[in-house]
Chains A and B, each alone.
Chain A
Amino acid sequence: MEEETNSSIFARETSRLWRAWRTVHEMVQDRGYELAEDEVKISLQRFRDEYTNEDGSPNRAKMQFSARPSEAMIKKYTPPATASNPNPTTEAGTIWVEFCPEQSSIGIGVMKKFVGHCSANNFKAGILVTAMPLSSQARKVITVTQQYTQIECFLEEDLLVNITHHDLVPKHIVLSREEKIALLKRYRLKETQLPRILQKDPIARYLGLKRGQVVKIIRTSETAGRYASYRLCV
């Protein structure tokens, strides 16, 4: 009896983790990183084979991967060349994704270890997926180290469904720096005159928006067919 309940708990947890695993892959792919299609669309059976222990419990310590930015993404995140800086380097770099095996809430120590791992291996960005919320001081670690490595944290339960696949969520496209300048010029706007989107907005978190980036939102419209609006991340 005991054995059965244990295995059913493990099965449920594994399928939850499988969904989060798929969502985080889709998220990384949507941001413009290179991932193979069979990595993203992993089946539950394969996931179970690869990421569970012998007793069926999920092995979070094994759940980690890195991804390189695609050509398009490198181009998008390269600042425009200027006279003083004719060959600008891109801001896009490899990303490291890790599921945290910690089952209690995340403290400074765990967070520092993750940040240390990211910076030691020259990852430009890191995503930590946790089962429990962060402590407020651990959150502070992220803000302190923000200028070296871009660290983001997601809860497993927030990644169970991919919100961009929802019917009511319109398509969001991040604009590159040139596109943003062209947009502001075209409409003769100042940055502050654009509508805004919060950085903590679920979509903004999904796309990893930084302050000052502009996102183009394409909605379907009954009268106009497609309707584009722009929002500035604040």
Chain B
Amino acid sequence: MSGPSVSAQAPTGSQTPKGILKKPKSTPGTSAPPPSEPTPLPLEQQIAIQQAKLLLQQRGEDIKPPVSLDFFERLSQFPVTRGASISAANPSTKDAREFIEAVQGFLPREYQDLIEERNCLGNCGYTLCPRPRRKYTGEFKILSSGIAKVADLNMWCSDDCARRALFIKVQLDNPSYIKRDGQLVVRIELDDESKHSTRRQAPKNGGAKTDESELAKSMERLEIDKKTQTTRDKTALAVERGDARRPAQQVEVTIREKSTTAPVKGPDQSQAVQDGEAHLMLEGHKTTFGTGKDDAGSDSDDDEYLPSAIRL
């Protein structure tokens, strides 16, 4: 086993090791070929155009344009149809559809703004509720369930509306998507009113069944969420790398060779061969392990001083 390794690592003097550096060209003047292809635009301009395109694309994808004020104005005066039969639990289908379609384009922050805007007008924070909001005074209020901040209570007309609005908010915070006209939109649905009324009246009877359907529904939502998540991740990564939507525009790579001035010499190993360290040399250098003790330590006076210090 040691035979071949010795012969490979300790070559004889005549057999000089082959360097890894490149041989220079015979005439250094022609070594660097000028890039002579005629480009239609200077490089800086091309880069600027690319950057501008990228920014435009990112603005389109990352930063959603803010919801216009008209939407807020309209939604803060909802519901449009009012009557004896209309309530938050039983909204008119037209209003409900319009609300859902508007809210699908909202960010969670904007939904919060909508609630704030409705409260400014004295309406209940839930958009489909025709009733005015509560107007407690003071800072805290004692309820049967505990102590609540009045500011939180005053946002709604009742706890039911708070629950309904929260149901929408949760769907905006953790969105799942459905396809509509070839575009993914956030899936929003109103809280199922019949479920709550049955549960409150007979919690033992229908409990298991509704739970099961609920579970199936949430599983389905999870599945959709997972799929859209991967595509979203991919597009986000593509945008970050800057190669999305521009597959044809590859980056142009020009390889410029480094010019060499003198003929390359291999490392001189004659000294190492004499010392018998040739097998430790790598490209003319001996590898040490950071201490440097191997070479310098022997002739410094540290060695002599240290044992005497210990002896004392």
Specify which chain B residues have a CB less than 8 angstroms from the CB of A108 in the assembled complex.
69, 72-73, 76, 117, 120
- Complex-state Cα separation, A110 to B73, whole angstroms: 11
B283 within 8 A of A: no
Q: Which of A16-24, A137-145, A187-195 contacts B (4 or more CB under 8 A)?
A: A137-145
CA distance A136 to B115 in the complex (A): 11
| B residues less than 8 Å from A107 (CB atoms) | 76, 117, 120-121
The proximity string for A residues 131-156 relative to B, scoring 1 for CB distances below 8 Å and 0 otherwise, is 00001111011001000000000000
Q: How far is the CA of A136 from the CA of B120 in the complex (A)?
A: 11
How far is B73's CA from A108's CA once the two chains are assembled, in angstroms?
Answer: 7
Contact-size category for A: 10 to 19
Q: Could you say which residues of chain B place their CB within 8 Å of the CB of A144?
A: 69
Question: Is there a chain B Cβ closer than 8 Å to A104's Cβ?
Answer: yes
Is B122's CB within 8 Å of the partner chain A? yes
Is the Cβ of B117 less than 8 Å from the Cβ of A104? no
A225 proximity list for chain B (CB < 8 A): none
Task: Please state if B69 and A137 are interface contacts (CB–CB under 8 Å).
Answer: yes
The reply on A229 being an interface residue by CB < 8 A is no
Instruction: List residues of chain B with CB within 8 A of the CB of A140.
Output: 66, 69
Query: With the chains together, A138 CA to B122 CA distance in Å?
Result: 15
Question: Which residues on A sit within 8 Å (CB–CB) of B66?
Answer: 140
Residues of A within 8 A of B225 (CB): none
Interface residues of B in 80-122 (CB under 8 A from A): 113, 116-117, 119-122
Q: Considering the chains assembled together, what is the distance between the CA atoms of A108 and B118 in angstroms? A: 10
User: Are B69 and A135 in contact (CB-based, < 8 A)?
Assistant: no
CB pair B69–A106 under 8 Å, yes or no, is no
- Bound-state Cα–Cα, A93 to B162, Å: 47
15 contacts between A and B (CB under 8 A): A104-B120, A105-B119, A105-B120, A107-B117, A107-B121, A108-B117, A112-B73, A135-B113, A135-B116, A135-B117, A137-B72, A137-B113, A140-B66, A141-B69, A144-B69
Tell me the minimal C-beta distance from B73 to chain A in angstroms: 5
In the complex, A206→B83 CA distance in Å? Answer: 49
